[in-house]
Structure 1
Amino acid sequence: MAGAIIENMSTKKLVIVGVILLFFQAFSFMVGGPTTAVHYLATKCVDAAKNHQSTKWFMPWGPNQCEKIRTFDEAMAKKIEANNIVFAVHIPLPNMEMSPWFQFMLVILQFDIAFKMHNQIEDGALATVDVGLAYRDDMLSEWTEMAHSLEQRKLNCNFTTTKTYENEGRYYECELLPFMEVGSVAHKYYLLNIRLPVHERKKINVGIGEIKDIRLVCIHQNGGFTQVWFAMKTFLTPSILIIMIWYWRRITLMTRPPVLLEKVIFALGISMTFINIPVEWFSVGFDWTWMLLFGDIRQGIFYSMLLSFWIIFCGEHLMDQMERNRFSVYWKQVGPIVFGSFCLFIFDMCERGVQLTNPFYSIWASDVGTELAMAFIIVAGICACLYFLFLCFMVFQVFRNISGKRSSLPAMSKGLIFRFKFLMLVTLFCAAMTVIFFIISQVNEGHWRWGDHTVQVNSAFFTGIYGMWNLYVFAIMFLYAPSHKRYGDQSSGQCIISDTGANSGEDIQLTTTITHVDGPTELYKMTGKEAQE
């Protein structure tokens, strides 16, 4: 029979392979590095234009810096209207420059609002922000507009002390607000000009309290970590591609057609290769703002393939299941996975798709969008947990099937069962880590939108999970490849342990799937004795 490598390789060699994979797994956790969060305080510039529609860009410092004021009291003394004040923020700080290695730029916003008895924040107050983003690649050239938008952000502020005249001047505690996200950092310098237009009749920026300052936090990937991350993907891409080609070549050397599990393993290798391909290298030289969206799509495809694979992988090892080696058997389990992945894609397009043209758009900016996003995160987390519980139930069924036959097996067969059980436990561990990573990434995505930049510490976990996926796919293709010692037998594609010593007449299938023959159901109904006849 055509046994797999996991059946025919010696225990010593398997241990060596396992230790090597464990070493690479530990290394993938160590290469993780944090993102960088830089704080900025907006400079108050004076726009002398009477129509408040100046096309001039206001620079907070440098040779052509704007006319500045320190406080709004100074503006009132000079009879400068609120509509003539522009909050200017230069990214990065003086004597520094941005780099394409930063990959993305996420900016969150915070208002410093002082309490005044005659100017309090109204319930449900909306701050209307007229914001423009410009860039340049040297300190002498003119600024080029990159985006301009009129956005609204709901203020969620609390005043922790008693609202009395004695407490005037104290600041509200306001939540951070999502402000901007750019999918690439292709230029050296960026400039934000923010206006808070006031219009009493149209109720624009009325009832938002007395804003004293605007603070921004700019979050981007650490440049050194990006280089390590690209190097990691560059190394893993040919590794998975080579093992995938080697695996499929061994399958095609068999005179029988490939069975379902072999096809699914190969498809898993293709999806892993797709997510591995380091197209991010091009983002260093090109202004590809769609890279974040493309990365989400690739990860969604891999999630869909990996979760489907685990269902089929466990199902094909259920010896009591009468029908196997047919994809249609698993449509009830795989269908919801594909549908859920499609919903993830639609949700992602609702935000990052729009951000391709308007980086200031955020689904978290409105109450409806926030409720929808939070509901989506909660439902996605619940579905991920339910999937893991169902997978645990399938693994339990597989172990129960094997345990019912183990007592009558010879010592060699019990050794193969141990290998198989260990691999199933590793699979369950990978599934648990994947579900945890998915939930954390979704929650962190929400926190990022709200400005909780402390989530940056999870990048080591991200590289560790990414390395785990690659090592798991590598191990599956290696261990389930047909052994070169068994090419001569073309009758089956499974490892069947026959308990001839105990004359039990039962066969146990451990690795790949059933023979690619007609009438698989009838084959499973036969006992070992009938099969010999």
Structure 2
Amino acid sequence: MTGTVLENLSGRKLAVLISFLLLCQLVCFLIGGLVAPMPANAQNILGTVCKDTTKVKNDTTKWFYNRGKGKCESVDLAQSDLSETDIVFAFQMPTPRESETFDYSRWQQNLIGVLQMDIRYHSQMEIKPHSTLVIDARLAYRNKDDPDDGWKLYTQSVEKRVLDCDIEIKSEDYLYNCTAMPLFELGSLYHDYYLLNIRLPVDKPDMNTHIGHVQDMWVTVINQNGGFTKVWLSLKTIFFPGIVGILIWFWHRIHLLQRKPVLLEEMLLTLGIALCILDLPIEYLTLLFDLPFMLLLSDIRQGFFYASLFSFWVVFAGEHMLIQEVKTKNSLKKYWKHLSAVILGCVSLFIFDMCERGIQLRNPFYSIWVTELGTNLALSFIILAGISTGMYFMFLSFMIWQVFINISKKRQSLPAMCSVRRLHYEGIIYRFKFLMLATMICAAMTVIGFILGQVAEGQWKWNDNIELEYTSAFFTGVYGMWNIYIFALLVLYAPSHKRWPANETNADTQILSEEIEFNRLPIERSEISSLTSFINKATVD
């Protein structure tokens, strides 16, 4: 019969393999720390206050911007008696000074805008708590070859935002302290320059009546760093063919056997396919085409990988707990209780993504965070996913702890064996323990990265006071860890090409009795493969 590569691989070859994989892991961290820049850039842009001379308020061919004679008649609100209906706040991205030498690159992938208001205190125009701010936002674009006034409409929308401001000293020399508000999110950065015009309409009697005296507007634009994207896609380009190749090799080894794949092999195959989907560098298409759905697609791909990885860990630990009944055929249905936390977390994040980025495909100015109900709903989904992830990790740790207890019980029978056979089994047990330790480290890093990633994504949306700094080394290190870990599993749990004799003419009575004693321990059908195959080999050796 055949065993796995983990069982039959010599100690020297296994040491070389592990050393190579650890070296690859170190290289991934070093690439992120020494080569890649920060993952994202943030820039604060002060809006230029322009006098609105447009007679037709819905004219989308009239744009206000800093460059171009007569396009923006700049005014100072502190020294002007113009009302909000007569002004337009213009934001050119990048700024006019930077646009002479710098333009957005398609390598930067996406663009997020966050609005910040500077409102001066006035005794007769105090801001009421949680006032509703109505903005008429219009976004335009142009490219390098277009003239300075060749702005084209990208999207427009009239949106509501909750203006949450407070002030410690009520004096006209002080400004309100207002929280940041999500403004827009573009799933692709296809064009070179963008222009944002914001008006504060008062078409209705109660519209924008309790927002105080607006002095300035700031827009913080956040985009992925182009240098980081190049490093990230380079890693994907390297890992993708390697994982595809080892997956084909693994399936070929399974196909050569005269049996159907067991549950653990099926889950490992599914995990490999999920990693291939995640590694597929389809982001290269954004360099040629405008694909605003890329952020949503990336979330779906990563969600499928998380679901596959977390499910595999549950099955991986459960198949080695030795608690299944001998005559019970293992199937994924037996783990439905164990996988409920995974399903709950994935469904919560999928619904949140569809409510946020799904609608943003049609309206980039939409945000689920703009209303109290939407904010509570979004936070509920994220908190529920975070709690599910934490519970999952604790439950997985408990399962792995049970695995180690069962392995310790198995070792109690080893002293009764001959020295050669005992050393052989101890080597298998040590290999398995090392693999389980690597699983725990990978699980911990994945859960931490998952939770911190959700916090980092939402910090501009629910609380602008959160300050989190992430290094590229963490992102590239964890991503490399996924590929290296799954690569190792596909190699070590593939069926070995070594064959053992089927006759029992040379069976050793002493060794056979030792194996019978070893098998009298309370083990079940889901015995770990690294032990069962050697038990069978010993009976025919």
TM-score by length of 2: 0.88
Equivalent-residue separation in structure 1 for 2:47 and 2:281 (angstroms): 37
Q: Which moved more, 1:125-134 or 1:439-448?
A: 439-448
Q: Which of the numbers 327, 331, 350 marks the counterpart of 1:345?
A: 350
Equivalent-residue separation in structure 2 for 1:512 and 1:247 (angstroms): 17
Compute the displacement of 1:16 (Å).
Answer: 1.7
Summarize deviations over 1:9-57 as a string: whole Å, max 9, x none.
Answer: 1222222211221122122223333111111000011121345334343
Compute the displacement of 1:224 (Å).
Answer: 1.2
The question of whether the paired residues in 2 share the 8 Å contact of 1:262 and 1:512 is answered with no
The question of whether the paired residues in 2 share the 8 Å contact of 1:47 and 1:84 is answered with yes
Equivalent-residue separation in structure 2 for 1:241 and 1:349 (angstroms): 30
The question of whether the paired residues in 1 share the 8 Å contact of 2:60 and 2:153 is answered with no
* 1:435 aligned residue: 447
Describe the SS at the equivalent of 1:422.
Answer: helix
The question of whether the paired residues in 1 share the 8 Å contact of 2:65 and 2:195 is answered with no
Distance 1:8 1:120, change over 3 A: same
Summarize deviations over 1:263-283 as a string: whole Å, max 9, x none.
Answer: 111111011101111110001
* 1:71 aligned residue: 76
Map 1:184-223 → 2, pairs under 5 A: 184-199=188-203, 202-223=205-226
* 1:519 aligned residue: none
Structure 2 residue runs of 5 or longer lacking an equivalent are 415-421, 504-510
Q: Which of the numbers 239, 245, 248 marks the counterpart of 1:245?
A: 248
Summarize deviations over 1:350-384 as a string: whole Å, max 9, x none.
Answer: 01000001101111111111111112222211111
* 1:518 aligned residue: none
Equivalent-residue separation in structure 2 for 1:223 and 1:442 (angstroms): 22
Q: Which of the numbers 389, 392, 396 marks the counterpart of 1:387?
A: 392
Describe the SS at the equivalent of 1:130.
Answer: strand
Equivalent-residue separation in structure 1 for 2:110 and 2:268 (angstroms): 34
Q: Which moved more, 1:258-267 or 1:456-465?
A: 456-465
Q: Which of the numbers 113, 124, 128 marks the counterpart of 2:134?
A: 128
Equivalent-residue separation in structure 2 for 1:339 and 1:176 (angstroms): 31
The question of whether the paired residues in 1 share the 8 Å contact of 2:345 and 2:389 is answered with no
Structure 1 residue runs of 5 or longer lacking an equivalent are 491-497, 516-526
Summarize deviations over 1:359-417 as a string: whole Å, max 9, x none.
Answer: 01111111111111112222211111110111111111111111112022112211110
* 1:87 aligned residue: 89
Distance 1:274 1:172, change over 3 A: same
Equivalent-residue separation in structure 2 for 1:487 and 1:503 (angstroms): 19
- Matched to 2:177, the amino acid is E
* 1:113 aligned residue: 119
Q: Which moved more, 1:146-155 or 1:23-32?
A: 23-32
Q: Indicate yes or no: 2:450 matched with 1:457.
A: no
C-alpha RMSD of the superposition: 2.4
The question of whether the paired residues in 1 share the 8 Å contact of 2:131 and 2:210 is answered with yes
Compute the displacement of 1:514 (Å).
Answer: 7.7
The question of whether the paired residues in 1 share the 8 Å contact of 2:341 and 2:388 is answered with no
* 1:494 aligned residue: none
Map 1:239-388 → 2, pairs under 5 A: 239-322=242-325, 323=328, 325-388=330-393
The question of whether the paired residues in 1 share the 8 Å contact of 2:341 and 2:392 is answered with no
The question of whether the paired residues in 2 share the 8 Å contact of 1:58 and 1:86 is answered with no
The question of whether the paired residues in 2 share the 8 Å contact of 1:89 and 1:191 is answered with yes
Equivalent-residue separation in structure 1 for 2:225 and 2:513 (angstroms): 62
Q: Which moved more, 1:122-131 or 1:65-74?
A: 65-74
Identical amino acids, percent of aligned pairs: 43
Compute the displacement of 1:155 (Å).
Answer: 1.2
* 1:472 aligned residue: 485
Describe the SS at the equivalent of 1:333.
Answer: coil
Equivalent-residue separation in structure 2 for 1:302 and 1:70 (angstroms): 53
Describe the SS at the equivalent of 1:171.
Answer: coil
Distance 1:280 1:119, change over 3 A: same
Summarize deviations over 1:149-206 as a string: whole Å, max 9, x none.
Answer: 0111111112122x2xxx212011111111110000000111000001135x531111
The question of whether the paired residues in 2 share the 8 Å contact of 1:325 and 1:514 is answered with no
Corresponding residue pairs, total: 505
Q: Which of the numbers 415, 423, 426 marks the counterpart of 2:435?
A: 423
